[in-house]
């Protein structure tokens, strides 16, 4: 549906029509097609139910619904319509919702080849009777509306004057006619997850406001990314960084190779467009099990591993080496863990990966460190990132991960990382931000609980 009518007004009209969800297809717009009876009839005749909506220069919105088709007889012809009604949605830019049902249904509509849409036998409401040009962005329509007390064929709201409906003024910026049809359920499957639509800016601002508890003397949440080689950990870092920076960032090296790409433990900062750091370090790690063993994960959680330490072939860090931090500061410890798994990791039964993840999960539960799962490469299941929450196959793979890890589904977040794109994509960004928001919510909860003395984290090893 294009056109000016808002979602809220459309929902109100659906309720007034009373036949369940409707689709509104814009057939005619005077600003787009010109104000002309001939064009109106050419575009709107024999289309079934239609909605005519006018927007006047005072910010008032009103019109009429016809469940019978418009036609183009040479002379004025009355058309029967039991379901027709006139309505108002706004007066002087303020919400004002009124429905005026037809009283005299055999005379509900007046059709004529030389006129625009008309309602009522003596034309309780007429739109236009000739070709009208646009002047300074408005059309001085030559129709009229009688005051509701004089309406013969439509409901009468008693005290309302025509000024109360349309300011007694048919200078309009727009007149639209929509075709109204049954909404096909198949076109709008119920989403497997409901998501509040929020702009990237609003989400970014909210995420930017999340900070660790002051009492702990820690300025950043350390978020540890764990997952097998090639699952998309480094790509997730780049995707989050790109979304905040407003341009593609390739800071973390990505790629596939026999030995994996990332070898060092690397905490990344995330900067906003105006170069302010978020209270966040996204800590990239080498591929779990191949290059990073469970004991090293425990060391990482406790803050015992120096930034940029290189792991290789799951060789455990030497606790005597200078890269091993004997007395970690609170700021080195991990506040939240993200299991980064790709769709194919979930479906690959051969690696023993999930056994390892369950071991780590037990460790995290013991330490009171929260964890979430980011499910990458979701484009392999659903090509269109806009449809992720409507795509049943994505819902299924999310459920599969949740069952395999023994976690609730609302801790598993499908994402598509930047990998082939050279420009930013708002849907890719939105998926990344939703996951990050919840990762930080859980880190903030744990941080609050710790400073309130609700957890007793035992020190690592």
Ligand X SMILES: Nc1nc2c(ncn2[C@@H]2O[C@H](COP(=O)(O)OP(=O)(O)OP(=O)(O)O)[C@@H](O)[C@H]2O)c(=O)[nH]1
Which string of DSSP letters, residue by residue, matches 80-120? --TT-EEEEEEETTEEEEEEEEBSSGGGSEEE-TTS--EET
**Strand 412-414 relative to strand 371-376, pairing:** parallel
- How many residues at the interface with ligand X, by CB under 6 A? 22
CB 288 within 8 A of CB 228: yes
Question: 53 or 378: whose CB is closer to ligand X?
Answer: 378
Question: 62 or 418: whose CB is closer to Mg ion?
Answer: 418
Q: Does 291 bind Mg ion (CB under 5 A)?
A: no
* Local structure of 181: helix, strand or coil: strand
**Which listed residue (41, 233, 333, 356) binds ligand X by CB under 6 A?**
233
Q: Least distance from C-beta 231 to ligand X, angstroms? A: 4
Q: Does 238 bind Mg ion (CB under 5 A)?
A: no
Question: 177 or 297: whose CB is closer to ligand X?
Answer: 297
Q: Does 262 bind Mg ion (CB under 5 A)?
A: yes
Question: What is the C-alpha R_g of the chain?
Answer: 31
Q: Does 143 bind ligand X (CB under 6 A)?
A: no
Q: Does 261 bind Mg ion (CB under 5 A)?
A: yes
Q: Least distance from C-beta 95 to ligand X, angstroms? A: 43
Please give the Cα distance from 51 to 67 (Å, whole number). 8
Residues numbered 381-420 forming contacts with ligand X, rule: CB under 6 A:
416-417, 419
Question: 56 or 435: whose CB is closer to ligand X?
Answer: 435
Phi first, then psi: what are they for 86, rounded to 5°?
A: -100, 160
Residue 395 contacts which entry, Mg ion, ligand X, none (Cβ below 5-8 A, type-dependent): none
Q: Least distance from C-beta 208 to ligand X, angstroms? A: 24
CB 27 within 8 A of CB 43: yes
- Contact region with Mg ion (CB under 5 A), list: 37-45, 211-219, 228-236, 438-446: 228-236
Which residue reads 């508890």 in tokens? 213
Sign of CA dihedral 439, 441, 442, 447: positive
**Which listed residue (376, 385, 411, 435) binds ligand X by CB under 6 A?**
376
Please give the Cα distance from 316 to 330 (Å, whole number). 23
Task: Give the contact letters, 240-279, x = binds to ligand X (CB under 6 A), - = no.
Answer: --------------xxx---xxx-----------------
Half-sphere exposure of 212 (CA within 13 A, CB side): 23
Residue 14 contacts which entry, Mg ion, ligand X, none (Cβ below 5-8 A, type-dependent): none
Contacts from 347-353 at CB under 8 Å and sequence distance 24+? 347/397, 347/400, 351/228, 351/289, 352/289, 353/228, 353/288, 353/289
**Which listed residue (229, 279, 372, 411) binds ligand X by CB under 6 A?**
229
Task: Give the contact letters, 282-301, x = binds to ligand X (CB under 6 A), - = no.
Answer: ----xx--------------
Give the sheet arrangement for strand 371-376, strand by strand: 266-271, 277-284, 221-226, 336-342, 371-376, 412-414
Q: Does 231 bind ligand X (CB under 6 A)?
A: yes
Contact positions vs Mg ion (CB under 5 A): 233-234, 261-262
Contact positions vs ligand X (CB under 6 A): 227, 229-235, 254-256, 260-262, 286-287, 376-377, 379, 416-417, 419
């Amino acid at each position: 549906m294009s056109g000016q009518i808002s979602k809220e007004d459309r929902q109100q009209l659906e309720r007034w029509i009373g036949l369940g969800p409707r689709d509104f297809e814009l057939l005619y717009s005077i600003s787009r097609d010109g104000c002309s009876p001939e064009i109106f009839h050419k575009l709107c005749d024999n289309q079934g139910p239609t909605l005519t909506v006018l927007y006047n220069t005072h910010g008032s919105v009103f019109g009429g619904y016809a469940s019978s088709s418009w036609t183009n007889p040479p002379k004025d012809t009355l058309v029967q319509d039991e379901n027709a009604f006139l309505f108002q949605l706004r007066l002087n830019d303020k919400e004002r919702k009124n429905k005026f049902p037809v009283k005299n249904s055999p005379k509900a509509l007046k059709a004529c080849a030389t006129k625009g849409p008309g309602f009522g036998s003596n034309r309780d409401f007429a739109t236009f009777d000739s070709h009208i040009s646009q002047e300074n962005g408005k059309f001085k329509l030559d129709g009229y509306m009688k005051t509701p007390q004089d309406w013969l064929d439509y409901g009468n709201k008693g005290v309302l004057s025509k000024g109360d409906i349309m300011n007694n003024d048919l200078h309009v910026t727009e007149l639209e006619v929509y075709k109204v049809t049954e909404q096909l359920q198949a076109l709008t499957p119920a989403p497997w997850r409901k998501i509040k639509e929020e702009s990237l800016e609003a989400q970014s601002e909210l995420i930017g406001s999340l900070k660790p508890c002051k009492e702990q003397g820690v300025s950043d949440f350390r978020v540890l990314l764990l997952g097998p080689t090639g699952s998309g950990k480094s790509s997730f870092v780049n995707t989050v960084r790109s979304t905040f920076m407003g341009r593609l960032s390739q800071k973390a090296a990505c790629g596939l190779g026999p030995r994996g790409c990332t070898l060092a433990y690397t905490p990344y900062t995330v900067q906003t467009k105006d170069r302010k750091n978020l209270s966040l370090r996204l800590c990239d790690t080498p591929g779990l099990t191949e290059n990073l063993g469970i004991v090293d994960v425990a060391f990482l959680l406790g803050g015992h591993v120096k930034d940029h330490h290189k792991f290789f072939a799951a060789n455990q860090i030497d606790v005597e080496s200078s890269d091993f931090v004997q007395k970690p500061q609170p700021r080195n410890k991990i506040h939240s863990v993200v299991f980064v798994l790709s769709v194919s990791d979930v479906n690959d039964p051969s690696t023993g990966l999930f056994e390892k993840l369950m071991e780590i999960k037990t460790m995290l539960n013991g330490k009171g460190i929260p964890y979430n799962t980011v499910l990458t490469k979701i484009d392999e299941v659903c090509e269109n990132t806009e449809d992720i929450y409507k795509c049943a196959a994505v819902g299924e793979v999310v459920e599969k991960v949740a069952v395999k890890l023994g976690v609730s589904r609302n801790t598993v977040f499908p994402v598509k990382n930047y990998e082939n794109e050279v420009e930013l994509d708002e849907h890719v960004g939105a998926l990344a931000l939703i996951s990050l928001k919840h990762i930080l919510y859980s880190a903030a909860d744990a941080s609050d609980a710790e400073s309130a003395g609700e957890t007793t984290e035992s020190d690592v090893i």
